[in-house]
Amino acid sequence: MFDVIVAGGGPTGLMLAAELRLHDVLVLVLEKRDEPTNESRGQGLHARSVEMMDQRGMLDRFLAVSEKFQVGGLFGGIMKPWPERLDTAHPYGVAAPQPVTERLLNERALELGTEIRRGHEVVGLRQDEDGVTVELADGTELRSRYLVGCDGGRSAVRKLIGVDFPGEPATVETLLGDMEVTADPETIAAAVEEVRKTQLRFGVTPGENGVCRIVVPADGVAEDRAAPTLDEFRQQLRAFAGTDFGVHSPRWLSRFGDATRQAERYRVGRVFLAGDAAHIHPPTGGQGLNLGIQDAFNLGWKLAAEVAGWAPEGLLDTYEAERRPAGRRVVENTRAQMTLLGTDAGATALRELFSKLMDFEEVNRYVTGMITAVDVRYDLGEGHELLGLRMRDVALKRGRLYELMRGGRGLLLDQTGRLSVGGWADRVDHVVDVSEELDVPAVLLRPDGHVVWVGEDRQELHGRLGEWFGAATG
């Protein structure tokens, strides 16, 4: 019997598996595809995901193969300079195409001892008091204590547990593909500039080896969801730009819509939903992959605590309580972005106004904080302004905070030297050090870096430790 079966080996499932393996959870990833994807969907990691990679010692691997980018706003096609004073020590994104992110996460999950079975599709499940029986397409049955559906927007797991997925179906579709062109770069740039004056769902971005990433609105919404043909691209490019740029030799052709939905629940008994299985929305702002791995970062340590037997009552329920509002915020901001991306006179005027508003530093900071998810605050009640936020990286006298979080344990950062983690030392590290960037006596961080306590009162601290890390031992 496995502790946890993860259905789906996309970014969310792989991130979750690695988080679980940090705590020796016996985890199996079941992935329908035989081979990893080469689809260039997600274009990179935003600042909060960059921070997470740093917290787990993964950032250097991303930076070795990807460039940093610094774009503020990134809202409804509007880009601004990076805002001043955004609360992060990592004020940038990392331009890693989705196949690179998946390769690095896959590598790490394997290094940590995850078993990944490819070519295995989940088609059925039933749960009882002790666990979940998972049925595969070839008729095999497997048992685990918990199951997490990370199986994408059309999640079989979500349907099998009967969770509704309310929202709106696609009203527009966009063609996306990687292919070669014969037109010269100057002609392409001039045509793109002209079209984008009114249509922001249009772009030709030169990539490696002469392959361009082409984005162009489709002619309506395809009922059958079939991959588009190269001729469809040619036709739509001509319709918008008056030329098809001589596109040829496609590497990958796809279409995506603006369907926007969120699962009504993220948990039914022993089964959880994460990533696109729990929420879908248009790719504006490049948030979907990020949101999925952030779900995994939230769920991983909680599920591991439950498996290890020290989770306080209700800990697993905080996953839905925290991540559903975070997902809702993204779903809502993509709805707003789609309105801003309209081509009618009203949308154009709104975009101009919104662009001017984003020239105000505070507005730019607010929007960038939202898109990059560095401002996500979980509702942990009244208290210090840091409570519920994730703690940014800070320089310490001996090293820096994020370097101390590699093991995915709780952490008490104690500038007083008078505190202790008592009977929680097997789950929580006690670091006595000082930082010029931190003006509070001590903070208690969960394994995902969110602040659950600020202060210097030992009794209050032990109350909080019990609330988040279960009963003390010894």
Write out the residues near ligand FAD by the rule CB under 6 A. Answer: 7-13, 30-33, 41-43, 98, 121-122, 150-152, 156, 176, 256, 275-276, 283, 286-290, 292
Minimal distance, residue 147 CB to ligand FAD, in Å: 11
* Residue nearer to ligand FAD on the CB measure, 7 or 195: 7
* Residue nearer to ligand FAD on the CB measure, 278 or 444: 278
Residue with tokens 């992110």: 101
- CA 331 – CA 440 distance, rounded (Å): 35
Minimal distance, residue 150 CB to ligand FAD, in Å: 5
Minimal distance, residue 428 CB to ligand FAD, in Å: 30
* Residue nearer to ligand FAD on the CB measure, 286 or 449: 286
Residue with tokens 């009504």: 264
* Residues 6+ away with beta carbon under 8 Å from 6: 13, 16, 17, 27, 28, 29, 30, 147, 148, 150
- CA 75 – CA 355 distance, rounded (Å): 9
Minimal distance, residue 161 CB to ligand FAD, in Å: 13
**Torsion angle (degrees, nearest 10) of CA 332, 338, 341, 345:** -100
Closest CA to 334 of 383, 379, 290: 290
Closest CA to 171 of 129, 220, 126: 220
* Residue nearer to ligand FAD on the CB measure, 334 or 415: 334
Closest CA to 88 of 63, 43, 60, 54: 54
Minimal distance, residue 15 CB to ligand FAD, in Å: 8
Residues 30/276, Cβ–Cβ less than 8 Å: no
Partners of 168 in the β-ladder = 260
Give, in order, the Cα–Cα distances in Å from 261 to each of 20, 167, 220, 241, 289.
27, 4, 20, 32, 15
Minimal distance, residue 275 CB to ligand FAD, in Å: 2
Minimal distance, residue 396 CB to ligand FAD, in Å: 31
Side chain identity at residue 239, one-letter code: A
Residue with tokens 């009114």: 198
How many Å separate Cα 109 from the centre of its chain?
A: 17
Half-sphere exposure of 57 (CA within 13 A, CB side): 11
Minimal distance, residue 255 CB to ligand FAD, in Å: 9
Side chain identity at residue 114, one-letter code: T
Structure tokens at 389: 């936020």
Host H or E run for residue 174: strand 173-180
Q: What count of other Cβ atoms lies within 10 Å of the Cβ of residue 84?
A: 11
Give, in order, the Cα–Cα distances in Å from 221 to each of 82, 86, 260, 261, 347.
35, 39, 15, 17, 21
Minimal distance, residue 103 CB to ligand FAD, in Å: 13
* Residue nearer to ligand FAD on the CB measure, 144 or 415: 144
* Residue nearer to ligand FAD on the CB measure, 99 or 312: 99
Handedness of CA 224, 152, 126, 314 (dihedral sign): negative
Backbone angles phi, psi at 234, to 5 degrees: -60, -45
Minimal distance, residue 296 CB to ligand FAD, in Å: 8
Minimal distance, residue 372 CB to ligand FAD, in Å: 11
